[in-house]
Structure 1
Amino acid sequence: MSTTVDLSPISGPSAWRGDELSRSTEWIYLLNDAERAELEAAGRRFAADDPDLRTVTAADYPLDACAGLIGECARQMDSGRGFVLVRGLRTEEYGDTVAAAIFYVMGLHLGTPMAQNQHGDVLDHVIATSDKTLDDPTALPSRVRDRLPFHSDSSDVVALMCLRGARAGGASSLVSGTTIYNEILRRRPGLAHLLFEPWHWDWRRQDPDAPADTYTSPICSYVDGIFSTYAGSSMIFSAQDYPEVPRLTPEQIEVLHLFDEIAQEPGLPLDMDFQPGDVQWLLNYAALHSRTEYVDHPEPERRRHLLRLWLRRDVGRPLVPGFGKNVVKAHDEEKTWVPGGRFRIGEAAVPNYDWGL
């Protein structure tokens, strides 16, 4: 394993700019009739079978006609730009349960679903359940309408399916971690090396049951020619609340702010206006994600509503030891879940409106 970093610009398909991609549709995969028909049939069978979401496997629901679709999603995440948007599902015709079943079957063919909350739910929802803002420390980012900062999630892959869009706003925003790094290297080369050093991340805020207040991880990894990022400066800054954590240096604070500033610069992010049925597959190591602020429809049944999957995707991607939330993943395999999880597709397709109140 070679982890030598020579602090040179990183090239390749993961080093993209949003203003360039927005002029094309190369990042959108349009389903053909055979793929759509197979996914719809699999979703209806899945909904009828009603399997346990924790134990069902891809082999139980083969997708022969979709081999090209699954292969392209895998290729783009593993060695391409890091994401793909799949378009063409008619979710408004067959309702949320079948739509959720299709989404889950696709997920099974691209990784292993992970628990996303203390109940162990493996299918979660992004929907505003309160009028809180992110200034409120009790607010859940997935349950408010604020713009979110660019960040990485707790999984190898994060996937979203749009059931209903917002009245206004609510675009899904992605930005290339590779491009951010290249820009830092170009503008402040003396700070770039800090991204490869260990940082303390707030574990307690992410998981109240965590066995420690913090864990450590670099922001960037470069192993055997593969570049990866893991970002979320708010978790680094909040880790400073613990007295045992070393104080950030002025240079570290500067590079964190620079990272966030570059991520938001016009031209770098790609904003996607989700349509009902759109499915976004994203490798957390290749791109960061956020969303723009949005306004909901007044009717509760028309609220912006996305389904979310977190997947483990074990394809041997080389990473420096302890990169990202690997320690969190190991802890999740051992923890005891709070009763109340929803592990059948019919109930899992309905949001838990007790969250984020």
Structure 2
Amino acid sequence: MLTDWPHVINEASVWKSSVYADESSWIVHFTESQLAEIEQAARQVLASGQGPTSFRKSDFSLPTVASLLDDLLRTLHKGRGFVFLRGLDVTRYDIDTLKIIYWGICSYLGEGISQNAQGEAMSAVTDYGDSFEGNDPYRHNIRAHRTTTEIHPHTDSCDYVALLCVRPAKSGGESAVVSSLAASATRIFPGPGGKRNVRKTTQLPPHPRLQLFQRENVCAI
């Protein structure tokens, strides 16, 4: 059991939104040559007959874009923890090609894993018309991204999450990014004179989950 918890969390991934008020500091625009390279890689995968989630990084050749994605991976792992990519014209491609481009780019940032009971490694965020009583779809084994309910900031059981916007929502659909470490630091390590806001209770939440975190070869719950 770890006993030497730090009193201050001081990492690049601990930030407030005011630090990134300037969008140009965290939005990356693909160049025309980079987009052409990505499109060519997608066409090669299509020609091979492989499906959107059945190929690997080695099948999606990006001779020059790879270095950019390596830089972005370092930003995810050691930096602020999020990136925003722009420039891909989603209207140029059919949905299968878009999925291949999406999966191909993501293959340079990590290994895709199953995200639901159906074993899907890629799932559409859209309203499927799933209905439920109350305000918690998970109580009815329904994923929130299949409904119109608001999804509050949370962490998932993976290292990174990727989203591709294929078309704007009819209404709503805004996304937000939150520094979970900053939120935790504020609650647990509020600074001199501050009050710790950590609730002690014998009551388990409706859906208890053990969340495992690994940092610098140290694993904690």
State the partner residue of 1:45.
Answer: 44
Q: Give deviations 1:203-260, integer Å, cap 9, x for gaps.
A: xx6xxxxxxxx65347xx6x7xx5xxxxxxxxxxxxxxxxxxxxxxxxxxxxxxxxxx
1:13 maps to a residue whose letter is A
Query: Helix, strand or coil for the counterpart of 2:219?
Result: coil
Query: In 2, Cα distance between the equivalents of 1:113 and 1:156?
Result: 10
1:150 maps to a residue whose letter is P
2:14 maps to a residue whose letter is A
Query: In 1, Cα distance between the equivalents of 2:209 and 2:67?
Result: 39
Query: In 1, Cα distance between the equivalents of 2:30 and 2:20?
Result: 20
Task: Give the RMSD, CA atoms, in angstroms.
Answer: 2.9
State the partner residue of 2:144.
Answer: 141
Query: In 2, Cα distance between the equivalents of 1:49 and 1:164?
Result: 28
Which of 151, 162, 166 aligns to 1:163? It is: 166
2:178 maps to a residue whose letter is V
Query: In 1, Cα distance between the equivalents of 2:183 and 2:102?
Result: 31
Query: Helix, strand or coil for the counterpart of 2:37?
Result: helix
Identity %: 24
Q: Give deviations 1:1-25, integer Å, cap 9, x for gaps.
A: x8721322x2232122123313332
1:216 maps to a residue whose letter is L
Offset at residue 67 of structure 1 (A): 2.0
TM normalised by structure 1 equals 0.53
8 Å CA contact retained: 1:200, 1:215: no
Offset at residue 71 of structure 1 (A): 1.2
Query: In 1, Cα distance between the equivalents of 2:205 and 2:44?
Result: 42
Query: In 2, Cα distance between the equivalents of 1:13 and 1:155?
Result: 19
State the partner residue of 1:6.
Answer: 6
Query: In 2, Cα distance between the equivalents of 1:131 and 1:115?
Result: 21
8 Å CA contact retained: 2:127, 2:146: yes
2:85 maps to a residue whose letter is V
Query: In 1, Cα distance between the equivalents of 2:61 and 2:41?
Result: 8
8 Å CA contact retained: 1:201, 1:217: no
Which of 177, 181, 186 aligns to 1:183? It is: 186
Offset at residue 98 of structure 1 (A): 1.0
Residues 95 and 53 from structure 1, CA distance in 2 versus in 1: closer, same or farther, beyond 3 angstroms? Answer: closer
Query: In 1, Cα distance between the equivalents of 2:183 and 2:149?
Result: 23
Equivalenced residues, count: 211
TM normalised by structure 2 equals 0.81
1:73 maps to a residue whose letter is L
1:280-291 aligned at under 5 Å gives the runs: none
State the partner residue of 1:109.
Answer: 108
Q: Which stretches in structure 2 are left out of the alignment for 5+ residues?
A: none
State the partner residue of 1:346.
Answer: none
Query: Helix, strand or coil for the counterpart of 2:67?
Result: helix
1:18 maps to a residue whose letter is S
Q: Give deviations 1:17-69, integer Å, cap 9, x for gaps.
A: 12331333211111112211111111222223232556522112221110232
Bigger relative contact order, structure 1 or 2, given CA contacts below 8 A and separation 6+? Answer: 1
Query: In 2, Cα distance between the equivalents of 1:161 and 1:170?
Result: 12
State the partner residue of 1:151.
Answer: 154
Query: In 2, Cα distance between the equivalents of 1:3 and 1:28?
Result: 39
Query: In 2, Cα distance between the equivalents of 1:191 and 1:29?
Result: 37
Q: Which stretches in structure 1 are left out of the alignment for 5+ residues?
A: 206-213, 227-316, 324-357
Q: As a proportion of its length, which structure holds more strand? A: 1
Query: In 1, Cα distance between the equivalents of 2:170 and 2:10?
Result: 38
Query: In 2, Cα distance between the equivalents of 1:77 and 1:176?
Result: 12
State the partner residue of 2:219.
Answer: 320
